[in-house]
Homo-oligomer: A and B are copies of this chain.
Amino acid sequence: MNETPKGAPDETLDFSDPMQRPRFAGIATFFRLPWREDFEADAPDIGVIGVPYDGGVTNRPGARHGPREVRNQSTLMRRINQATGASPFEVATAADLGDVIIQKPYELVGAHAEIEAFYNRVVGAGIRPLSCGGDHSVALPILRAVAKDRPVGLIQIDAHADTGDNYMGSRFHHGAPFKVAADEGLIDPKRCAQIGIRGSLYDRDMWKFSHESGMKVAYIEEVEDKGWKQVMAEALAFVGPGPVYVSVDIDSLDPAFAPGTGTPEAGGLTMRELQGMIRMLAGLEIVGADLVEVSPPFDQGGLTAQNGATAMFELLCVMA
């Protein structure tokens, strides 16, 4: 009975395609996509981009190492989303556009300008960006590129509303990008939903901009009470039709699922909740998306980077 004949040659695998190689092998690009820095020459539908910048953090740094490690873990991803049937690489072309190389990192406003310039190239080439931070402050220069023509809606999954104001001499840190984006007319607060908000506060007014500008703020307690499906359904109804940017801060996850981040807050989402919510975004007009705040020096065994890569795959599936 052990003499089961050995199978026929494995003709189904094309080893010239990095996505079909063993997942531990080979150079790690995002999802084992082709590496294309000269992207204007051959523009994919979707460009996956690393933004290795953490000059905007207010607490623990390290997110500059995020793109490298998320790329590494992203090689665990395969081609098709079993839960939804999405097959992003069949319906859209995609490439790893490499990292934004910030030439003058020691000054926050200038670094943001460099990021913005890179994304202007991306948007100019007709590419929709799926970005990997870096700290959340990078969402601002990305929005300056993808939303430069009109305000967009926002689905933000995060422990923090990130609509703070001046802090330690700067308006542009990672706790404030969405206030500045609203101030600059890049996002329409009436179409912005923030989900998973929690954690202690310095001031009762810490996220007052979210409230006063009319954003929808869904605290984690709502997720616990109503369930993630209802919360996201309400968020989608709030945001409505039209272009939308999706921003996922890995600290939306509970620290048991995402220890490797700069501002962990106990009591967050599980991966099942996060995956379920992202999947509900299918059909939106997504102009760009990001996954930010993976800080590998604080990670444990790559768990945060793996969950970050998985979240990026889910985002890709709803963007494609």
Q: Which residues of A contact B (CB under 8 A)?
A: 1-2, 4, 6-10, 12-13, 15, 20-29, 35, 50, 52, 54-56, 58-62, 64-65, 67-68, 71-72, 76-83, 85, 87, 96, 98-99, 101-110, 112-113, 116, 144, 148, 165-173, 180, 183-184, 197-204, 219-221, 224, 254-257, 259-260, 264, 266-268, 270-272, 275-276, 295, 297-301, 303, 306-307, 310, 313
Contact = CB atoms under 8 A, between A and B. Distances in A.
A15 B184 CA distance: 30
A206 to B, nearest CB: 8
A10 B71 CA distance: 29
A271 B267 contact: yes
A237 to B, nearest CB: 21
B6 A170 contact: yes
Given A58-B22, A59-B22, A109-B2, A271 B297 contact: no
A303 B148 CA distance: 40
Contact of A103 (B6, B10, B172, B264): B10
Given A8-B166, A266-B271, A199 B24 contact: no
Nearest to A207: B82
Contacts of A61: 54, 61-62, 64, 297
B4 A60 contact: no
Which applies to chain A's interface (DSSP): helix, strand, loop or mixed?
Answer: loop
A231 B161 CA distance: 31
Nearest to A5: B171
B83 A221 contact: yes
B256 A27 contact: no
Contacts of A220: 83, 272
B307 A219 contact: no
A248 B44 CA distance: 42
B266 A13 contact: no
Most buried by B among A68, A102, A266: A266
A169 B106 contact: yes
19 contacts: A1-B184, A4-B172, A10-B167, A22-B58, A23-B59, A25-B50, A25-B101, A27-B27, A55-B55, A56-B106, A60-B62, A61-B62, A61-B297, A62-B297, A81-B201, A105-B169, A224-B276, A298-B301, A300-B301
Nearest to A107: B107
Contact of A180 (B4, B68, B107): B4
A263 to B, nearest CB: 8
A300 B256 CA distance: 10
A68 B109 contact: no
Contacts of A257: 254, 256
Contacts of A81: 200-201
B83 A20 contact: no
Nearest to A311: B266
A29 B26 contact: no
